[in-house]
Each structure stands twice: as structure tokens, then as C-alpha cells.
Amino acid sequence: MNGNGTGTEGAATAFTTAVATRRRPEPGHAELRPAEPRPARHRVLLAPVTVTPSKPLTPSHLKGLLWSDVMYRATRHVADVTLRYSHTTYHPTEQTLGFWEFLDRRYGDMGYSSLDERDIGELYVAFRAADEKVPAAALRPYAQAVEDGWTHPVAVAVLRIWAGQYTELGLTDPGLLAHQPPGLGLTEVVARLDALGMCLDQRALGGPVYLDLTRHGLPLRTLVSADGRPNYLACALRELLPLAPEYDEVVLLYDSQLDPDYQRLARVLTALGPTVVRIPVGRVPIDGTIRSAREGGWRDHDARALLAAARSGHSPEAVRLGMRLYFVAVLGPGQAESYRPDLLHQCLGRAERLLAAADADPEPSAPPLAERVARHRGSHLHIDPYRLTSSLLGRRRRPSGDLLTGVYL
């Protein structure tokens, strides 16, 4: 020991005393400890195709929306997932701006709030039937107004009706009435595609802008017409180009008839780093025929009619679950099966029975919900809604309450 008594032995005594006399944490105040490292969760971006707010929701629309919702709510249990579904992004397409211009030119300041979605849908059918070629200059003020945060009253009226139907169906509201602009302008999109070697810009020669994936074996695809009109694919790139690099997996859920453009979109986004998964979902034929909403004829099969029939004699929870059983599990990803109200009715009854039989709490020995849901993930990060929902239809399957409330209700 040295002269001041602070040798090794003295230091040990001082340390022991300090520990013994350390102030203990008061009740309600946890002692600070190093944080336990949390396992990193994968990031998933779910980007479904949008429905233009100009008509009622048809069975085909409902199928896509319910698929997206089950996928989103199930995947939340195993990954950090973002649902990106912005109407603002796709308002600048010619079919939307053209409809707005058609209404203002033909009908002026009509009171759209007094019309329902069926009335507005009939106006949309008339617009498509007229097949008028409107000069690009007539649409530019509308496009600029959209960029500034404006939405035509006719679209607002439809979106408000849809918001009520979303609530009844238990669909996640992605911000139907919110202004959600894309992260890039058209000029920035063209510049980024050019940097990737995927752009052929003919504007200096009075021509269009093309997406050029010829080196990948795909033909040229117009993005912006010679007179400056962007198409749906250009709008999708404005939204997804800045988002995709932030995610491990990007899931594109879309109408199977749009497959050529979604092959191109996937090719571009893959070049930015994430794994890109394309999931085409077939439309729902009516009496064996696949019809476009632009043709009308939806009055007995739209969301309003289906919900009115479903809620008669069934609980709100059974309506939500039964709709998902039918449109996801029974119809499946293809489009071979026509809409059948009798099968939908059976699914609503099945939903009532599943709800009645569901375990309020899983068995103590049961794996956590995330682990049970993950069994339906396959080789991807997202959950397959068809596999998961079909598993509820097993004859001896007794669903757990946490699965139903966490994904379906």
C-alpha cells in the first residue's frame, strides 16, 4: 500500500462501498440498463393498383381491395409494411382529367354532392362513350390544380361514399380523401430513368418520352405523349421511384390485364435494389363475361348492393369476414369463376360459424400470432392472402380469435 492508502486493496474497498451505498431507484423508476438489441424487421412496401373515383366499386374492385387489405394486415405481424395507395398520384392521367373536363364543359357547376356513385358512374359511362379527343391545353389547368392539392368535386363525392363502404367492409383507409402527392415530378422521373439507361426522350424533336427496356427484351413504352400527357405508368414511376430503395421488398398488386406495364415497372424498381414481387389478381366475371366499369351494368352487383344484401341477417363482423372468405379464398387469384351470390351467402354463413367457434384466446402452448401467420409467407417477406384465408376453410380448423381480429375484422 502506498502512503495515501489508495492502493489496489483500498480501491477495491472504495468500489464496494460505492456499490453498497448507491441510491436505489424509487418506486416507479426502473434502473437504467443497456437496451436489449431488437431483431431487425424487414421493410415491405405494398403498392396496389388504384381504382379511379368515377364509379361504384364493382366485384372486381372489391376483390382487389380485399386482397390488399388481408395482405397488409397480415404482413404487419411479421414485417414493417407500408400501404401506399394514393389517388392524388393518379389524378393526372388523361382518363381522370378528361372526365373532369367533360363534366365541366357539358354540365358546368353541377351539385355533385347530391349524386350517388351510381349517378356519377353513369356520367362516366357517357364520357367514355363520347370518345372525344380533348386538346392537351384544355387539361393542363386541371393537371396544375391537382399538383396544387385540388380534387374535382365529383371525385370527392365518390371518395366520401367509398369511405363509408370501406368502414363497413373493415378496409384500412389509406387516405382516400387526403392529398398525397408523389415524391417526384415528371422531369425528375425522366432524369432518373435516363441515369439508369432506361429512357428515350424525344421531346426535343417534338416526340414523346419512352420507357426504354429494349435491352431487357421489352418493347418501347410511351410514358409521356408528345403533347405532354403522362399515362398511368408514368404516374406510378413518380410515386414508386423514390420509395422503392427504402424497402427490402416491393409488392405490386394489380389487375391481371395490366400485366405488360407491371412487368416493366417491376424491371425498373428491381434496378433500385429491392426484391419486387408482381401479384396479378384476375377480375370477377359477371354471368361469364368480364366487363369494364366504363360499360356500366353494375347496379345489381356493386358494393352498395352487395353490402345491403350481406348485412341483412348477418352481423357486421360476419360481413367483413365473409366477404374476405369469398373474394379471397373462394374466387382465388384467377378469373375463371363468375360472381355467384349464392356462394357469397354461404361464405357469410360460414363466417358466422367461424366467429362463434373461434377461441377467445389461443392455447398457452400455441405459437405467437406472428409465427402462425408467417407459415403463409412462402419464399417472400409478405403474407400470401390466398393461402392464409384458405386455411380458415379447413373442416377441422378452429380459428383463433387473435387471428380474426388481427387480420380479418
Mean pLDDT along residues 275-289: 93
Between these two residues, 367 and 281, which has the higher pLDDT value?
A: 281
Lowest mean pLDDT among 37-46, 104-113, 253-262: 37-46
120 and 268 assigned to the same domain: yes
Answer whether 0.85 is exceeded by the pTM.
yes
Between these two residues, 353 and 3, which has the higher pLDDT value?
A: 353
77 and 151 assigned to the same domain: yes
267 and 310 assigned to the same domain: no
271 and 308 assigned to the same domain: no
Asked, for residue 37, whether it belongs to a domain, the answer is no
CA distance from start to end of the chain: 74
Which H or E element spans position 277? strand 275-281
Lowest mean pLDDT among 47-61, 203-217, 252-266, 288-302: 288-302
Phi, psi of 251 (to 5 degrees): -110, 120
Is 359 a residue whose pLDDT tops 60?
yes
Task: For residue 13, name the pLDDT band (cuts at 50, 70, 90).
Answer: very low
Cβ count within 10 A of residue 175: 14
158 and 237 assigned to the same domain: yes
Asked if 89 and 239 count as a contact pair (C-beta separation under 8 A), the reply is yes
Q: How many structural domains compose the chain?
A: 2
Helices 316-324 and 303-311 pack at an angle, to 10 degrees, of 130
Task: Characterise 369 by phi-psi region: left (phi > 0), alpha (psi -120 to 50), beta (else).
Answer: alpha
Query: Which are the contacts of 374, defined by CB distance < 8 A and separation ≥ 6?
Result: 77, 78, 383
277 and 320 assigned to the same domain: no
Asked if 348 and 324 count as a contact pair (C-beta separation under 8 A), the reply is no
Asked if 212 and 220 count as a contact pair (C-beta separation under 8 A), the reply is yes
Q: In sequence order, what are the beta bridge partners of 251? A: 46, 277
260 and 135 assigned to the same domain: yes
Quick one: which of 394, 391, 355, 365 has its CA closest to 376?
Answer: 391
Query: Rounded CA gap, 184 and 283, in Å?
Result: 31
Query: Rounded CA gap, 306 and 340, in Å?
Result: 11
270 and 299 assigned to the same domain: no
120 and 239 assigned to the same domain: yes
103 and 148 assigned to the same domain: yes
Query: What are the strands of the beta sheet with 43-48, ordered from one edge?
Result: 80-83, 43-48, 249-255, 275-281
Q: Residue 52 corresponds to which cell in the numbers above?
A: 379511379
Four-residue CA torsion sign, 309, 57, 86, 48: positive
pLDDT digits (tens, 9 = 90+) for 310-350: 998 899 999 999 999 999 999 999 998 999 999 999 999 99
> What's the confidence (pLDDT) of residue 10?
40
Asked, for residue 110, whether it belongs to a domain, the answer is yes
Domain that holds residue 158: 43-184+230-281
Q: Residue 310 corresponds to which cell in the numbers above?
A: 350481406
Mean pLDDT along residues 39-68: 94
Asked, for residue 75, whether it belongs to a domain, the answer is yes
Q: Residue 16 corresponds to which cell in the numbers above?
A: 464496494
Read off the CATH number of the domain in which 108 is found.
3.40.50.620
Helix (H, G, I), strand (E, B) or coil at 255: strand
What is the full DSSP assignment across 145-193?
Answer: HHHTT---HHHHHHHHHHHHHHHHHT-----TTS----SS-HHHHHHHH
Helices 94-107 and 136-147 pack at an angle, to 10 degrees, of 110
Asked if 174 and 83 count as a contact pair (C-beta separation under 8 A), the reply is yes
Pairing relationship of beta strands 249-255 and 221-224 according to DSSP bridges: unpaired
pLDDT digits (tens, 9 = 90+) for 192-235: 999 999 999 999 999 999 999 999 999 999 999 999 999 999 99
273 and 251 assigned to the same domain: yes
Which H or E element spans position 281? strand 275-281
